[in-house]
């Protein structure tokens, strides 16, 4: 059986070429053809000798996740549905923002964190994405963009908890940012987590150079326990301490993601309590109005509560922005990915 070259690391690629009797420098050429130019046919790698390409084609292939659906929102956000080799599907979202494009990618099929306000969590955990399945989301979207629109910001905020798929996520980030991979600057990559404390400390040692965002979503353990079950394992203070300990370059800040849910975590006292918890953390706060869904028992916060919450935090000299999720009309907003797509998959399985 042929083996997928996308599953090999660069040293493994060098080794296999040497074992085939070819020069190891072809590994660099091959990596660029695969990850930057997106080829799946070895015949297209024209700066590699034809005998070498023939040998590769006999023993190896280059996979790609299959784009099955694209949906365009009224705000011009675009949701991509990709099918994996085992027929499961994942979703990514391309978000236009003024002078840039941001691509939100997934790291798992489903999620095991169980956040009560998130539709993806209702899928439960199905499996981790492999390294090339994470990276391929970026590659497949880039291939479909005009040449003047290929400079993407990447956020790992889609389906799944990136730090729960730790090794594959780290290696995927390295490949996305490598000159032999997708060659996207680490400064344009953001990893988002619900706050898995041991992995946050492990992440400090990786020296990836990417931005960090942490979903807090509550000012106290009492509220966070009800919204995010992970808090029973790693409470707010342990998360805050991990962020205080996190080494940052000068002028870089951690993004604190806070979904405002009407009548749950949007009171003036919640804002003051949140500020007390954030003391000593170099951070900026992104307030995200909750995206309601009929299947979940929560409501969007009012504009008044949003403005009050923002003003209270600003009164403590915090940088506070409001991030209004895009793509709500196509199920592509924060906390909406994957669920309805997965329900359709289950129906097909049951029918068969």
- Distance, in Å, from the CA atom of 225 to the CA atom of 236, rounded to the nearest integer, reads 10
Q: Which of 188, 201, 185, 217 is nearest to 286 (CA)?
A: 217
Q: What is the helix (H) or strand (E) element at residue 94, kind and residue range?
A: strand 89-97
Residue 145 CB neighbours (<10 A): 14
Q: Which residue has the tokens 């499961």?
A: 88
Contact 83, 65 (CB under 8 A): yes
- Distance, in Å, from the CA atom of 184 to the CA atom of 186, rounded to the nearest integer, reads 6
Distances (CA, A) of 1 to 11, 131, 139, 340: 22, 21, 25, 35
- Distance, in Å, from the CA atom of 192 to the CA atom of 190, rounded to the nearest integer, reads 6
Q: Which of 228, 164, 154, 170 is nearest to 204 (CA)?
A: 170
Contact 323, 287 (CB under 8 A): yes
The question of whether 115 is a catalytic residue gets the answer: no
Q: Which of 314, 243, 249, 315 is nearest to 283 (CA)?
A: 243
* Candidate list 91, 133, 161, 257, residue with the active-site label: 91
The token pair at 315 is: 């009164």
Distances (CA, A) of 226 to 254, 309, 322: 24, 21, 24
The question of whether 305 is a catalytic residue gets the answer: no
DSSP 8-state class, residue 318: -
- Count Cα atoms within 13 angstroms, Cβ side, for 175: 27
* Candidate list 52, 115, 334, 341, residue with the active-site label: 334
Residues designated as active site: 91, 334
């Amino acid at each position: 059986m042929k083996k997928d070259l996308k599953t090999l690391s660069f040293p493994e690629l060098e080794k296999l070429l040497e074992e085939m009797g070819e020069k190891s420098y072809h590994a660099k050429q091959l990596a660029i053809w695969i990850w930057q130019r997106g080829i799946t046919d070895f015949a297209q790698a024209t700066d590699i000798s034809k005998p070498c390409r023939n040998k590769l084609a006999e023993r190896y292939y280059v996979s790609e996740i299959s784009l099955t659906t694209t949906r365009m929102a009224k705000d011009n956000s675009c949701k991509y549905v990709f099918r994996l080799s085992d027929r499961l599907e994942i979703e990514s979202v391309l978000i236009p923002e003024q002078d840039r494009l941001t691509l939100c990618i997934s790291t798992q099929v489903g999620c095991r964190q169980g956040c009560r306000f998130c539709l993806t969590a209702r899928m439960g955990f199905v499996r981790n994405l492999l390294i090339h399945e994470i990276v391929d989301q970026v590659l497949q979207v880039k291939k479909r963009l005009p040449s003047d629109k290929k400079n993407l910001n990447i956020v790992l905020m889609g389906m799944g908890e990136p730090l729960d798929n730790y090794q594959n996520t780290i290696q995927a980030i390295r490949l996305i940012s490598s000159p032999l991979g997708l060659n996207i600057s680490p400064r344009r990559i953001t990893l988002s987590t619900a706050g898995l404390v041991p992995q946050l400390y492990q992440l400090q040692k990786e020296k990836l150079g990417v931005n960090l965002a942490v979903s807090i979503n509550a000012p106290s353990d009492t509220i966070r326990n009800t919204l995010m079950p992970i808090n029973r394992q790693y409470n707010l203070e342990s998360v805050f301490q991990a962020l205080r300990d996190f080494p940052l370059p000068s002028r870089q800040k951690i993004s604190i993601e806070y979904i405002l849910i009407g009548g749950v975590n949007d009171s003036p006292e919640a804002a003051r309590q949140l500020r007390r918890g954030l003391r000593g953390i170099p951070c900026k706060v992104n307030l995200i109005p909750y995206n309601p869904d009929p299947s979940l028992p929560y409501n969007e916060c009012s504009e008044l509560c949003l403005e009050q919450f923002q003003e209270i935090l600003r009164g403590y000299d915090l940088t506070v922005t409001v991030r209004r999720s895009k793509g709500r009309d196509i199920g592509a907003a924060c906390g909406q990915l994957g669920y309805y797509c997965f329900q359709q998959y289950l129906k097909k399985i049951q029918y068969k």
